[in-house]
Amino acid sequence: MTAVVPTTTLAGSSKGGVRAFKNSLATVLVTAAFGIALIPLVWLLWTVVSKGLKTLTQSGWWTSSQRNITFRKPGGGVWHAILGTAEQVLLCTLISVPIALLVGIYLIEYGGGRLAKLTSFMVDILTGIPSIVAALFIYAVFITTFHGQRAGIYVSLALVMLMVPVIVRTTEEMLKLVPNELREASYALGVPKWKTIVKIVVPTAFSGIVTGIMLGIARVAGETAPLLILVGYSPDTNSNLLSGFQGSLPGMIYAQVPQLGNTRFHYAADRMWGTALTLIIIVMGLNLVARLVARRSKVSN
């Protein structure tokens, strides 16, 4: 309190017409900045929900594909797209998680050396790598060099490059929070370091790591650029990651775009907003669940 009282008197005495005005102005601007951020969020969510909701409640939206459905026809669903996205993301997760966990463990539990510094730097670079560059790299390796055909599996590989840094960073943060006493207690009992990490450190940080994985999934599920380059969009259900074009949620949105300006048939536009809403529900849902898990998680001694 003593700090506050002189503040007000000084500000008042040294005349602060100008100072008080500046102070109020700053308060207004700072608050307004938040309002500015709120506008696009509300506007965008409102647009997607209001335009997409009716499509989501159509019969068959969640269970059928877009087979034999053109922009002139209503109906069809997103099942093929959900399946494709789910498969690609699942494979990506299966590859990313072990790599990212090991990297995170290395940086925290064994870090400090020159390689660790370099690795940490490279993870940062990987975080900043544009998805289209990751896709081009996979294309250059597997399709031009090894003459593969475009397929879902390559999308998974490109997504790995985007997902690994997310999980590495979260794993690092979580491992840092594990109290050193736990490690020391384990060493004191004669447990080897690797076993301490596997049985004590990682399980303690487990829920935090799960959060990181879910955030990673949310990050890659909405990625579109790798899809354009590495697999074509197919309106049919194709569950084969190894060959053929595959449906995917972002791919399905993109596929409707050419017909957006069509004034006679609005089905493509409806479908696009419906898919966008579906994608937002999935990605935001994952995000929210990840945060809930993080909140519940306890790294405590």
- Of 21-50, binders to other proteins (CB under 8 A) are 22-23, 25-27, 29-34, 36-38, 40-41, 43-44, 47-48
Residue 90 touching other proteins (CB under 8 A): no
Residue 219 touching other proteins (CB under 8 A): yes
What is the footprint of other proteins within residues 254-293 (CB under 8 A)?
254, 257, 260, 269, 272-273, 276, 279-280, 283-284, 287, 290-291
Q: Which of 83, 95, 116, 289 binds other proteins (CB under 8 A)?
A: 116
For 33, the token pair is 């900045």
CA nearest neighbour of 286 among 223, 215, 208: 215
The whole-angstrom separation of Cα 127 and Cα 115 is 18
Query: Residue 107 class from Cβ within 10 Å (0-12 exposed, 13-18 middle, 19+ buried)?
Result: buried
Q: Which of 67, 176, 199, 266 binds other proteins (CB under 8 A)?
A: 176
Residue 177 touching other proteins (CB under 8 A): yes
Residue 149 touching other proteins (CB under 8 A): no
CA nearest neighbour of 173 among 111, 96, 125, 107: 107
DSSP 150: P
Place of tokens 């593969």: 148
For 130, the token pair is 């544009």
Q: How far is residue 29 from each of residues 7, 32, 33, 129, measured CA to CA in Å?
A: 22, 5, 6, 34
Count of residues engaged in binding other proteins, rule: CB under 8 A:
135
Quick one: 25 or 90, whose CB is closer to other proteins? Answer: 25
Q: Which of 139, 154, 245, 267 binds other proteins (CB under 8 A)?
A: 139
Q: Which of 175, 202, 210, 255 binds other proteins (CB under 8 A)?
A: 175
Quick one: 10 or 94, whose CB is closer to other proteins? Answer: 10
